Structure 1
Amino acid sequence: MPERMLTEPEGYRLLDSCGIPVPPHRLVASAADARAAAGEMGYPVVMKVVSPEIVHKSDVGGVIPGVEGPGEAEEAFRTIMRNSAARAPRAAVTGVIVEKQMPAGLEVLIGGKTDPSFGRVITFGLGGKLVELLEDVSIRVLPITDDEIREMIREIEGYRLISGYRGEPPKDEEALVRVIAAMARTFAENPGIREFDLNPVIVYEKGASVVDARIIVGDAAGVGTARESVGAPPDLFFPKSIAVIGASASPNKVGYSVLRNLLSFPGSLYPVNPVRSEIFGRKVYPSVTEIPGPVDWAVIAVPARFVPGVMEECGEKGVRLAIIVTAGFRETGGAGAELEERVAAIARRYGTRIIGPNCLGVMMPHMGINATFDPVSPKPGDVAFISQSGAVITTVVDWSLPEEFGFSSVISVGNQADLGFEHYLRFAEQDRMTRSITLYIEEIQDGRGFMQMAREVVGRKPVVAVKSGSSRKGRAAASSHTGSLAGSYDVYVAAFRQAGMIPVRSLRDAFNLAELLAFGGYPQGGRAIAVTSAGGFAVLASDYAETHGVEMVDLPDDVLRELDAFLPPFWNHANPLDILGDADAARFAALFDVLIRHQDFWDIAFVIAVPTTLIDPAHVANEIVRFSRNTGKMVVGCMLGGDSIRSGLRVLRTCRVPNFEELEDAFKAVGSILAIRTARAAGERPVPVRDDRCSGARE
């Protein structure tokens, strides 16, 4: 069925059939009929042009509200027809709808669209003419529950207008929930509805009514297809033998870089090249099938046209995982896409799994594996980084080395011909070396499968996601408010939040959060304290806490009395706690002892230390480590400065205590966690890492 917009009478019939309130209305074709219809339903009425080709009726002078009498009704009909003919001469006009003008109330928008990755999504926000200007909306992927609808309503900035603002009585929130639920159910169950826009929906103290409906119907839109089962065995990513197919002695070849990077691999390494006998002092095999022992991984770095034949040989050999770094597949268009499907079909026939093609490869630092052509390898750590961009990986790995930031795994997903984000999420969840997961995403092919997997994973390990493509440049003109408001990026972010992931805009924010969550787990609540020896940073801490939604709690009287016993009499007696510029490590330690004894009033502690002649950074850092180990709470280091504090930073990183070198970054990261409300019960909190390298920290 070709795509078309239902006329308003058709739309009202659809809404009425699923129990959604609409005004009394009638379609008329003459001024006399308009007069009669208005008289029967009672004044005032509003009159609107009816045309499937006129989306925004007001723009063509096709809406006249406040019609109060018979003569006005006739004149309004003639004016609407005249305006429409002049301003939309090619539009087919079927008549004018006369409908009872509903009393004024709060105008909201309910919309729906079909996203190519996630399928049906629904949008809610303030309505009326300013909807695109305000952009105060919330989005959910269907299906949703009534409780999720309530969350959706309450998260917009304009919710104060619903709950009662400046003496105004509250609006009927439950009536609004019923309307959204009915429309969401209808949209989810009716594949012929492509998109809809109910704007405005007027909400009253009692009840609600739709007063304008744009509903686009047509053949069901295609969405991302479900992948093969995500049950790839965990040991798939722990090879004992690796073959490099396309290994080369030429430094300008990818096969040279991959083989060189794998020379330190502790398992069996097999170069494969039909025209060489030895590379880097290792025997070279003409084909993977001629390797005498089993081969777990094959890194394929031959031109694209040879990959199908190589995959046949890998299948015959029983290779479990093929990492195809070669480009020239789906990313190049039609012929490349056909070649990629041919390769994937061969792999399916043999049961071989594929990473890529068109990927950088895989790094497993704890196992000494760098199966990529990146010239540097990251340090071992706690964060799994899964990226759709190889260039982003090489940049991040280069950044990580001087920062001493480590990774449990680094995976370049490439074109995702077989394994996709959901498979790597499952692997990272099961990997004992991984404590948090960071994703860089450009496109997800199976959005629903990804969300289902993410929901399962975040229950055990936190997931932070960066989605590229947030700019509006290049977006096609939307046919409705919903189409313009619920852009692809916005849907991704909404889906991430709905699945319990933490969306961020920058890689810096992503790795700040990943480290915080890997080292500290989720906080048990949102009550925060801050400790500092610098008054200026105490003020900034208050500012940043308010900006990023972190609650700074009051200090209980018994805590104040204990602090007064050893702090100078002119300390600020407030939170953030300014323990003054002459504080040394012993003063920090005494304060930490008080907070350890009184853990019932706080959940998160920011410890802000700055360089002074009285502070040994390593000594203070050891006290922060001791503080963290003797609480069940989140302790966030904020050792600020340059080279003079490096010894302290090394202690914190070695002992797995998160540290931020920019104070606002610390509050921004914690605020992001609290905003997503993925905080878990204490029993589900990741167990703090105990590391033998931490023996310098006193218990």
Structure 2
Amino acid sequence: MSVRNLNHIFAPGSVALIGANDKPGTVGGVLAGNLFGAGFAGEIYPVNPKYDTVAGLATYPDIAALPRTPDLAVIATPPDTVPGLVDDLGRRGCTAAVVITAGFGEGGSAVGRARTQAMLVAARPHLLRIVGPNCLGVMVPGVGLNASFAHVPPLAGNLAFVAQSGAVLAAVLDWATSRRIGFSHCVSLGDMVDVDFGDMLDYLAADVSTRAILLYIEAITHPRKFMSAARAAARIKPVIVVKAGRYAEGARAAASHTGALAGSDAVYDAAFARAGMLRVKDMQALFDAVQTLAMVRQVPGDRLAILTNGGGLGVMATDTLIERGGRLADLAPATIDRLDAVLPPTWSHGNPVDIIGDAPGSRYAAALEALVNDSNNDAVLVINCPTAVASAAAAAKAVIATLKDRMALYNRKAVLTCWMGDGSALEARRLLTESRLPTYETPTQAVRGFMQMVRYRASQTLLMETPPTIPEAFTPDLDAARQIVAGALAADRNWLTEVEAKAVLAAYAVPVVPSHVCASPEEAAAAATRIGGAVALKILSPDIVHKSEVSGVSLNLETPEVVRANAAAMLQRVHGLRPEARVDGFTVQPMIHRPHAHELIVGMVDDSHFGPVLLFGHGGVAVEVIGDKALALPPLNMHLAREMMSRTRVHGLLQGYRAVPAADLDAIALTLVKVSQLVCDLAGIAELDINPLIADEHGVLALDARIRVTRAEGPAYERLAILPYPRELEERLVLPDGRELLIRPVRPEDEPGFQQIFASLSPEEIRLRFLHMMNVLPHDLAARLTQIDYDREMALVVEGRDQGGGAELYGGVRISADPDREQAEFAILLRHDKTGLGLGPMLLRRIIDYARGRGIGEIYGEVLADNQAMLKLCRVFGFSIKAEREDPGVMYVSLAL
């Protein structure tokens, strides 16, 4: 389930409160007071057999006695009664409930788990949606709904806050109300037995009263649904999340370096980043984010101008700014001149702009006017510290007046404030808050608020950026890789040998150093003779994952005799340290001499929540000590791979320094893409390490590799949090004129192809396709057409060849389904010079078949009434066609599947 019937929770026409009473201080009493006192315009039905009236209203003994079926039921009765009440509500036709009651398995109670199951069994036949149990409730100020036992009612606004913890929600309400910050929705999810974060993101993304979404998360359910919903919501409006329990689980115990490095919280970080959400670390940062989102315009960049009457505070703000990756704005020469004209000679003559401790309000106003007019900064932070010679409140009034007088300019420039002090600053902060100016208690908090907006903008840019094409084509030998994995499992082995692991990598075109398998010291010496030059000798054992821990690696062995002696000694040493380990012999490899090469690690681990997670970082034997890593969810493209690399410290070294040339960054990124593809293809890969992967200006080479395998049920994509490119939908066909075409799902790299299709259209064709005139195809729209979530959307494109033999797009068809797959909107786009080839019917037939196979109930679209060609095609396929009520020039076409 997803958004089905959630409208009855958040916009009900009537509410039944089961367990209502008049006792002060009880949950039922507080619920009744909140529900009756919030201004709800619909009917409210108190239900309690022990009362004749509650809050002066007639009270009903049970659900059957209600005069009509409520849209929403709020349940606050003992836990054993809840499953029966849910069953009664469902039979009555109610489809939504908020269960306040606890006692449903918190802490692992078997009795509670049984109650939960009974409640869900009762709800399922009626599609009755449940928020909770064990929750504070839900609040929607815009419709006067307060179905909670919160101590403070929320103000109306455009921020939605969703939390697992009722205590956190209550704390946020208390804090926000004192600052006049309002909410569109406040939702406590509790145990999330039904409605979860994915459902709420889907609902709130489409809610026009919600400008931004705030989440407090302890854990998520249904990772793929969550990721799909989060990625969809984050493209529409800001989504900010604080995740609790960052250190509770720690790094998971694992045999691979990747397993040791990929802690649970780091995986959540990677998931949030991939979805385009902004993560903050604690509740204070969330409070800052609430204030910043509520009041600050989006910032176009990271250049901050600081205006202060105290030099030390300006330095403090600057330190925080640089520490968090922001930049101190360079003041334009004209701005310096303007400030010289209005400030004392002793001002700082730079940024931070220190206007001296005796600054009156007029000085603040003059300096602020100069800074907000300076295009060299992206935002202005105004700081005030209390002094005996100047009024903090007067300074605040001057700032407010300056911005009000130039409101058009303020609407384009973010301004943040920080009034230091306690009693002396209270009045100033009140004035600033009432004027919708964000105000913080410390410079650190203010700069953190600014950088949250910077990070959010960066995440949105990443979410919408068009990835480059892959620099070299590679076709995996999937069968060879599968045979190696199957062979190890058939032999009851969970770890591939080094030779097998490298063979799997080679099947995916990852460059590997050649390895010679030798059964004895004598064979090792003979292999060294064939190789010539210095070699590396390694023990070969399916039971020894980290060879260095048993001194199972010898490097720079110059002669066959030295190899033989080292092999014999190694064999004796390993038998002494690990007598139980099976030893199959040795591997002998040529020593690789690349003096400027960097040691990297590329890995994968299967996370318990999000499935496969990829790792990149600084490699070598001290990889855990160095701890320089970045995580990402597969699948990756070149852009995502490069972004992943950029989050590590070693990335700076890879770009070259002093006499060391830059490494081949494309080769490293391509290796990440190849490993991502491997993980998406092979369900049996449970852990993977390439360590070290050496990289220099000549490319990359895997010197060592470990792969753990496991028996898997179902296809590989089922374990992924983000569905990969569905290669199985690719189809090749030949037109009657002999031209070969490829029908395939769209890829993010196809945006240039869509721009070319758009450029081929006439103005009339653009109007017919997009329902209005457009001179260009905007990047954000093109990105939405090509960067799709394959779980909810599908777009098939037709790819042909241009005169030079290169690939080009002829056109495409797409569907975008609602979260419940009840309906999906479709659209077709063809290049002007490719019409008349039968591509339209061919694409429409395939997308209809795809939609039917996915269980979508209906596909629909809007077609201009004068687009006769499209209407004719729809009639051929059996679509029903009717004029839109609001616009008779637009026809609504639909096909039940």
Q: Summarize the Cα distance change of 1:250–1:564 in structure 2 as closer, same or farther, 3 Å threshold.
A: closer
Which residue is equivalent to 2:436?
Answer: 656
Which residue is equivalent to 1:246?
Answer: 19
Residues 290-369 of structure 1 mapped to structure 2, 5 A cutoff: 290-331=65-106, 332-369=108-145
Which residue is equivalent to 1:641?
Answer: 421
Give the alignment partner of residue 409 of structure 2, picking from 630, 633, 640.
630
- C-alpha distance in 2, partners of 1:474/1:513? 26
Residues 673-688 of structure 1 mapped to structure 2, 5 A cutoff: 673-675=453-455, 677-678=458-459
Which residue is equivalent to 1:126?
Answer: none
Is 1:261 aligned with 2:34? yes
Give the alignment partner of residue 458 of structure 1, picking from 208, 228, 234.
234
Is 1:285 aligned with 2:66? no
- C-alpha distance in 1, partners of 2:396/2:373? 24
CA-to-aligned-CA distance 1:372-408 (integer Å, 9 cap, x gap): 2233323334432211112222333344444544433
CA-to-aligned-CA distance 1:488-544 (integer Å, 9 cap, x gap): 222112111111111122111012012212322431111111111222222222222
Q: Summarize the Cα distance change of 1:270–1:560 in structure 2 as closer, same or farther, 3 Å threshold.
A: same
Q: Structure 2 counterpart of 1:282, which letter?
A: L
Give the alignment partner of residue 261 of structure 2, picking from 456, 466, 485.
485
Q: Summarize the Cα distance change of 1:307–1:397 in structure 2 as closer, same or farther, 3 Å threshold.
A: same
Q: Structure 2 counterpart of 1:630, which letter?
A: L
The question of whether the paired residues in 2 share the 8 Å contact of 1:635 and 1:657 is answered with: yes
Is 1:408 aligned with 2:188? no
Residues 525-540 of structure 1 mapped to structure 2, 5 A cutoff: 525-540=301-316
- C-alpha distance in 1, partners of 2:23/2:111? 29
Q: Structure 2 counterpart of 1:662, which letter?
A: T
Q: Which secondary structure state, in structure 2, belongs to the residue aligned with residue 514 of structure 1?
A: helix
Is 1:448 aligned with 2:203? no
| Aligned-pair CA distance for 1:561 | 1.7
Which residue is equivalent to 2:294?
Answer: 518
Give the alignment partner of residue 383 of structure 2, picking from 603, 608, 631.
608
| Aligned-pair CA distance for 1:419 | 1.0
The question of whether the paired residues in 2 share the 8 Å contact of 1:384 and 1:409 is answered with: yes
Q: Which secondary structure state, in structure 1, belongs to the residue aligned with residue 133 of structure 2?
A: coil
The question of whether the paired residues in 1 share the 8 Å contact of 2:416 and 2:437 is answered with: yes
CA-to-aligned-CA distance 1:152-180 (integer Å, 9 cap, x gap): xxxxxxxxxxxxxxxxxxxxxxxxxxxxx
- In structure 1, stretches of 5+ residues that fail to align are 1-227, 685-699
Q: Structure 2 counterpart of 1:559, which letter?
A: T
The question of whether the paired residues in 2 share the 8 Å contact of 1:245 and 1:299 is answered with: yes
CA-to-aligned-CA distance 1:167-217 (integer Å, 9 cap, x gap): xxxxxxxxxxxxxxxxxxxxxxxxxxxxxxxxxxxxxxxxxxxxxxxxxxx
Q: Structure 2 counterpart of 1:609, which letter?
A: N
The question of whether the paired residues in 1 share the 8 Å contact of 2:184 and 2:210 is answered with: yes
Q: Summarize the Cα distance change of 1:683–1:638 in structure 2 as closer, same or farther, 3 Å threshold.
A: farther
The question of whether the paired residues in 1 share the 8 Å contact of 2:74 and 2:97 is answered with: yes
- C-alpha distance in 2, partners of 1:234/1:527? 42
CA-to-aligned-CA distance 1:95-128 (integer Å, 9 cap, x gap): xxxxxxxxxxxxxxxxxxxxxxxxxxxxxxxxxx
The question of whether the paired residues in 1 share the 8 Å contact of 2:152 and 2:174 is answered with: yes
- C-alpha distance in 2, partners of 1:300/1:451? 31
The question of whether the paired residues in 2 share the 8 Å contact of 1:625 and 1:652 is answered with: no
Identity %: 37
Q: Structure 1 counterpart of 2:282, which letter?
A: S
- C-alpha distance in 1, partners of 2:239/2:116? 30
Q: Structure 2 counterpart of 1:623, which letter?
A: A
Which residue is equivalent to 2:51?
Answer: 276
- C-alpha distance in 2, partners of 1:625/1:231? 45
- C-alpha distance in 2, partners of 1:424/1:404? 24
The question of whether the paired residues in 2 share the 8 Å contact of 1:585 and 1:623 is answered with: no
| Aligned-pair CA distance for 1:620 | 2.7
Q: Which secondary structure state, in structure 1, belongs to the residue aligned with residue 205 of structure 2?
A: helix
Which residue is equivalent to 1:52?
Answer: none
For the aligned residue pairs, the C-alpha RMSD in angstroms reads: 2.7
Q: Summarize the Cα distance change of 1:238–1:617 in structure 2 as closer, same or farther, 3 Å threshold.
A: farther
Which residue is equivalent to 2:319?
Answer: 543
- C-alpha distance in 2, partners of 1:587/1:679? 37
Q: Summarize the Cα distance change of 1:476–1:589 in structure 2 as closer, same or farther, 3 Å threshold.
A: closer
Q: Which secondary structure state, in structure 1, belongs to the residue aligned with residue 444 of structure 2?
A: helix
The question of whether the paired residues in 2 share the 8 Å contact of 1:438 and 1:511 is answered with: no
- C-alpha distance in 2, partners of 1:438/1:450? 15
The question of whether the paired residues in 1 share the 8 Å contact of 2:16 and 2:44 is answered with: yes
User: Which stretch of structure 1 is more off in the superposition, 255-264 or 245-254?
Assistant: 245-254
- C-alpha distance in 2, partners of 1:527/1:679? 18
- C-alpha distance in 1, partners of 2:6/2:131? 14
- C-alpha distance in 2, partners of 1:459/1:553? 29
CA-to-aligned-CA distance 1:7-46 (integer Å, 9 cap, x gap): xxxxxxxxxxxxxxxxxxxxxxxxxxxxxxxxxxxxxxxx
Q: Summarize the Cα distance change of 1:296–1:521 in structure 2 as closer, same or farther, 3 Å threshold.
A: farther
The question of whether the paired residues in 2 share the 8 Å contact of 1:230 and 1:422 is answered with: no
- C-alpha distance in 1, partners of 2:56/2:311? 62
The question of whether the paired residues in 1 share the 8 Å contact of 2:251 and 2:264 is answered with: no
Q: Which secondary structure state, in structure 2, belongs to the residue aligned with residue 461 of structure 1?
A: coil
CA-to-aligned-CA distance 1:387-433 (integer Å, 9 cap, x gap): 11122223333444445444332211112122111222233333444
Q: Structure 2 counterpart of 1:262, which letter?
A: L
- In structure 2, stretches of 5+ residues that fail to align are 465-777, 781-897
Q: Structure 1 counterpart of 2:441, which letter?
A: E
Give the alignment partner of residue 437 of structure 1, picking from 204, 213, 216.
213
The question of whether the paired residues in 1 share the 8 Å contact of 2:331 and 2:350 is answered with: yes
Which residue is equivalent to 1:557?
Answer: 333
Structure number with greater CO (CA < 8 Å, separation at least 6) is 1
Which residue is equivalent to 2:614?
Answer: none
CA-to-aligned-CA distance 1:136-158 (integer Å, 9 cap, x gap): xxxxxxxxxxxxxxxxxxxxxxx
Residues 154-173 of structure 1 mapped to structure 2, 5 A cutoff: none
Q: Summarize the Cα distance change of 1:487–1:546 in structure 2 as closer, same or farther, 3 Å threshold.
A: same
The question of whether the paired residues in 1 share the 8 Å contact of 2:19 and 2:28 is answered with: yes
Q: Summarize the Cα distance change of 1:286–1:650 in structure 2 as closer, same or farther, 3 Å threshold.
A: same
